[in-house]
Copies of this chain bind each other. A is one copy, B any other.
Amino acid sequence: MKDKVVVAVAGMPGSGKAAFQRALTRMGYPVVVMGDVVREEAKLRNLEPTPENLGTLMLNLRAVDGPAAVAKRCVPKLEKATEQIVGVDGIRSLNEVNEFKTHFTDFVLVAIHASPKTRYQRLFRRKRSDDPQDWETFMERDLRELGVGMGDVIATADHMIVNEGTFSQLNTRIKKVLKEILKDE
């Protein structure tokens, strides 16, 4: 039996990275959501999970435990999983990548890329409450993601999936990458 593979996926807003996690779930693999760790910590501290409280708590955790504070809290969850693949959702910096690499020999980083134009059109169509409705807001959100280190994570990914086409094309590519990952490890 081969070692468990921890697969983290990174991508800019609207790149389609959520599809990767959904594909993992459909295939029966668990996904650890990094944001959930912050929400659980809020619960432990009797804080309402408002965006403000969660933001402050995140800064707080990082001030105490360093820039990989959230990743550190995900490690026990990833260790507990017994499946062949475990996904990680929400990775945003090389500090977090390095934290996972320290704990898991078989750590694989997947990036999903789409052009800014494509991503903007997707988010504009999606119209989730926090999705940008103009180019300026979209650019600001991009810069926020890059500011925490998302660009460094994408540029050094082990697998790059280009997602400019249909949802079905994306799913075919995701399955191909997962097959390669299982073959390599």
Contact = CB atoms under 8 A, between A and B. Distances in A.
A106 B149 CA distance: 28
Contact of A12 (B12, B150, B156): B156
Chain A interface bracket (under 10, 10 to 19, 20 to 34, 35 or more): 20 to 34
A117 interface: yes
A155 B151 contact: yes
Interface stretch (A35-43, A49-57, A58-66, A157-165): A157-165
Q: How many copies, total?
A: 2
A157 B15 CA distance: 12
A152 interface: yes
A67 interface: no
A108 B151 CA distance: 18
Contacts of A146: 94, 151-152, 155-156
Contacts of A115: 157-160
A179 B159 CA distance: 25
Contacts of A162: 160, 162
Contacts of A113: 111, 113, 155, 157, 160
27 contacts: A12-B155, A94-B146, A111-B113, A113-B113, A113-B155, A113-B157, A113-B160, A115-B157, A115-B158, A115-B159, A115-B160, A116-B158, A117-B158, A142-B156, A146-B152, A146-B156, A149-B151, A150-B151, A150-B155, A151-B151, A151-B153, A151-B154, A151-B156, A154-B154, A154-B155, A160-B160, A162-B162
